């Protein structure tokens, strides 16, 4: 990655060298009219309005006109220096810590006990946007793809995920999982939005996008730059106009932002690849039923406090970022629930004795690839594996609610008497990524996808015979007769 020219930095300084006061912030989907104009009203249930200001910076001599500055640079400029950018010949890069300046988490009624922590979206882990996006030969819909990871990056450096959560059918906004600005903290304590950040329109300007999709196309607000409402949007919430070319728009109902990708992207394990990684500092937490987040404060010293109501009591989670970058949690001694800080670490398998070699683990996918190779051509494709997981899930899902309970996967059903059916039963706890006792389609798909990616050495989406060759000393086991002393691992 090469640094941006100094002339671009000068323009950035001019663009942000003024103070702007945001309007009164209310519920995200209630503070704008049909044309995208912000309304000066707010919902008192989410606390008093808080003006937001961009700090003034000294201007430097202009060396190139604003119109000559690439559009992405103008979009992210109002949030400098907290958000920094640069570009090379192919990509525009965005660096941030992923934490916006507005209040966080307040209003969430379905809480996973995750809290917002800063993330190192910098250097090789920065967000990247294609400078010259290309239309895809086969656009992919977010209704069926990209249930993991981000699909866009907001102008303030906050990633935006699919509005549908990783179970493949739950609308996070309608489920009460999002705060007053449309975001929440994920399983890695990474804050992100799930709907379009319309509250940023005032800061970026009415004629500029509020975000960029990861395929390189911009996401505008509810209106066109000339103030007219966006019309004739396609299934992905986008369209092409003479002044702008193809672009997406925000909407107040699903899909809320880009409903997939008009442009070329690579999907791997259910997400756009490559993209930055969040760094978890503790095991993922569990849902806390009945809790409502009512407050969130943070100090410049790196101290955070999240308040929530549960069973008529106000409870608090306090945590801090220590000087060495680690995180310290201070649980509320009066909490009726287990604090995120008190979650025990996951059990670790004891190391083998020095005099006794560890038993070999069977490469499950290689052992059973032939059974899932439906066309018998000697190779296993991602599509064939996905078809197998779908068949098995449907076979166990007796009530058709897209959720497998222990009673369901411990039983039997059509299509589950197979290698994958046995794998699901034996490794249910590993497949159940969030540990809530229920297996979702996305969790089974993700487990199968990890096995495939690990085996697909040349990353061509096909497991050829040479990739499926068992290592010396391994012997394939017939379906249902896996070694009892150590079951196959993903």
What pLDDT does residue 417 have? 64
> Under 8 Å CB-to-CB from 349, ≥6 apart: which residues?
none
Q: 80 and 16 in contact (C-beta within 8 Å)?
A: yes
> Can you say whether the dihedral through the CA atoms of 389, 392, 395, 401 is positive or negative?
negative
CATH superfamily of 364-463: EF-hand (1.10.238.10)
The first and second tokens of residue 171, run together, are: 């609308």
Q: 449 and 270 in contact (C-beta within 8 Å)?
A: yes
Domain residue ranges in the chain: 6-272, 292-342, 364-463
What pLDDT does residue 158 have? 98
- For residue range 139-162, what is the model confidence (pLDDT) as tens digits? 999 999 999 999 999 999 999 999
- Complete DSSP assignment for 316-367: EEEEEE-TTS-EEEEE-TT-SS--GGGPPPPP-PPPPPTTSPPPPPPBHHHH
> How many other C-beta atoms lie within 10 A of the C-beta of residue 227?
11
Q: 204 and 210 in contact (C-beta within 8 Å)?
A: yes
Q: Rounded to a whole number, what is the distance in angstroms from the first to the last CA of the chain?
A: 35
Which ranges of the chain have pLDDT less than 70? 1-68, 331-362, 411-417, 470-490
3-state helix, strand, coil in the chain (%, to 5): 20, 20, 60
What pLDDT does residue 354 have? 42
Cα separation, 480 vs 230, in Å, equals 56
Q: 118 and 97 in contact (C-beta within 8 Å)?
A: yes
Residues 96, 202, 205: CA angle, nearest 5 degrees: 85
What pLDDT does residue 245 have? 96
Cα separation, 206 vs 226, in Å, equals 8
Q: Which of 172, 183, 181, 218 is nearest to 199 (CA)?
A: 181
């Amino acid at each position: 990655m090469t640094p941006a020219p100094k002339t671009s930095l000068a323009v950035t300084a001019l663009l942000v060298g003024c103070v702007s006061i945001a309007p009164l912030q209310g519920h995200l989907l209630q503070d704008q009219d049909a044309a995208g104009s912000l309304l000066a009203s707010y919902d008192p249930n989410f606390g008093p309005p808080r003006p937001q200001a961009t700090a003034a910076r000294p201007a430097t001599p202009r060396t190139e006109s604003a119109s000559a500055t690439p559009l992405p640079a103008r979009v992210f400029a109002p949030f400098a220096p907290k958000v920094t950018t640069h570009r090379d010949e192919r990509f525009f890069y965005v660096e941030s810590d992923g934490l916006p300046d507005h209040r966080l988490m307040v209003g969430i009624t379905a809480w996973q006990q995750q809290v917002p922590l800063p993330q190192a979206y910098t250097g090789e882990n920065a967000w990247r946007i294609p400078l010259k996006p290309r239309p895809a030969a086969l656009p992919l819909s977010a209704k069926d793809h990209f249930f993991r990871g981000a699909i866009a990056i907001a102008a303030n450096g906050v990633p935006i995920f699919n509005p549908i959560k990783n179970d493949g059918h739950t609308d996070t906004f309608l489920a009460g999982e999002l705060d007053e600005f449309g975001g929440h903290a994920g399983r890695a304590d990474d804050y992100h939005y799930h709907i379009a950040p319309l509250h940023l329109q005032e800061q970026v300007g009415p004629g500029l996008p509020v975000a960029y999709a990861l395929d390189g196309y911009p996401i505008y607000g509810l209106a066109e730059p000339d103030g007219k409402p966006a019309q004739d949007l396609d299934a992905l919430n986008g369209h092409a106009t003479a002044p702008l070319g193809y672009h997406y728009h925000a909407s107040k109902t699903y899909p809320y932002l880009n409903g997939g990708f008009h442009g070329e992207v690579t999907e791997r394990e259910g997400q756009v690849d490559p993209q930055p990684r969040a760094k978890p500092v503790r095991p993922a937490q569990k849902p806390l039923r009945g809790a409502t987040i009512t407050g969130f404060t943070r100090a410049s010293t790196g101290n955070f406090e999240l308040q929530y109501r549960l069973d008529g009591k106000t409870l608090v989670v306090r945590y801090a970022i220590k000087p060495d970058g680690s995180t310290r949690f201070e649980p509320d001694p009066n909490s009726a629930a287990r604090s995120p800080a008190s979650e025990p670490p996951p059990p670790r398998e004891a190391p083998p004795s020095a005099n006794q070699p560890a038993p070999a683990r069977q490469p499950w996918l290689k052992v059973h690839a032939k059974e899932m190779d439906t066309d018998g051509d000697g190779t296993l494709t991602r599509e064939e594996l996905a078809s197998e997981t779908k068949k098995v899930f449907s076979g166990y899902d007796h009530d058709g609610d897209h959720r497998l309970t222990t009673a369901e996967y411990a039983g039997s059903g059509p299509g589950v008497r197979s290698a994958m059916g046995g794998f699901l039963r034996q490794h249910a706890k590993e497949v159940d990524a969030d540990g809530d006792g229920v297996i979702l389609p996305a969790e089974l798909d993700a487990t199968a996808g990890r096995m495939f990616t690990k085996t697909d050495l040349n990353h061509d989406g096909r497991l050829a015979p040479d990739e499926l060759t068992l290592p010396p000393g391994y012997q394939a086991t017939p379906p249902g007769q896996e070694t009892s002393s150590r079951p196959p691992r993903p």
